[in-house]
Amino acid sequence: MLRSLLSAIGAYKIYERWLWHQVKGGVKPEHIAVILDGNRRWASEKDLDPWYGHKEGAEKVEKLLEWCLKLNVKSITLYAFSTENFRRPRKEVEEIMRIASEKLQKIITDERIHKNRVRVKVIGRTNLLPENLQKIIADVERATQNYDKHFLNIAFAYGGRAEIVDAA
C-alpha cells in the first residue's frame, strides 16, 4: 500500500534512489539467498488467480537480480519451488512451470547475464520437472557454464526432506 501511495505521487523513484545511495557505499554481502514465498497469498488478497501472483513475483525477482548485479553481489540463491509444491492444484503447478520455462529461456539470450558472466545452476530434483523445462535448464546451464564472475543458483523441485533422502 505504501508503495502504491508513493508511486501515485511520484515519490517511489526518489525513495529507490535514496535506498540505492544508502546501500551502494556500504558493505555488500557476497551471497544473498531468497525464499520466493507469498505470491499466491498476494494474488488471493487481490482476488486474482494464484498464477498471476507467481507471474508478478517473477517480475520482481528480475528487478532484484538486476539490483544485485548493480551492487556486484557475487552469488544469489533463489528457492523457487519446493518438492512439496507439486501437491498444489495441477493448473497452478502447470502455470508455475510455464513461467519458469519462459524466464529461464529468456536468460539464455539476456545480454546482462553474458556481459556480467553469470553462471546459472538449477539445483533440486529436476528429473521431476516437465521435459521441456529440463531441456531449457540444460541449455541455460550450458550457455553459462564457463562464467565465473557471478553465480545464480535456482532451487527448483528442491526440498530439505528430499535432500536428506537423496543423501542417504
The domain limits of the chain are 29-167
Displacement of CA 40 from its chain's centroid (Å): 15
Look at 20 and 148; give whichever has higher pLDDT. Answer: 148
- How many residues would you count in the chain? 168
The type of residue at 161 is: R
Whole-number percent of the chain with pLDDT over 70: 85
Band of the pLDDT at 162, cuts 50, 70, 90?
low
The CATH number of 29-167, from 3.30.70.270, 3.40.50.720, 3.40.1180.10, 3.40.1260.20, is: 3.40.1180.10
> Distances from the Cα of 129 to the Cαs of 25, 62, 75, 138, in angstroms?
41, 22, 24, 12
pLDDT tens digits along 98-144: 999 999 999 999 999 999 999 999 999 999 999 999 999 999 999 99
pLDDT tens-digit map of 6-34: 555 567 677 777 776 766 777 778 999 99
Is 37 assigned a catalytic role?
A: yes
- Which pLDDT score is estimated for 114? 96
- CA gap 53, 11 in Å, rounded: 25
Tell me the pTM.
Answer: 0.81
Strands of the 75-82 sheet, one edge to the other: 31-35, 75-82, 150-158, 118-123
85 is catalytic: yes
Would you give the DSSP letter of residue 85? G
Active-site residue, selected from the candidate residues 39, 47, 85, 116: 85
Residue 26 CA to residue 5 CA, distance in Å, equals 28
What is residue 135's predicted lDDT score, i.e. its pLDDT?
98
Query: Is it the case that residue 163 has pLDDT exceeding 80?
Result: no
pLDDT for 4 equals 62
Whole-angstrom Cα distance, residue 64 to residue 66?
Answer: 5
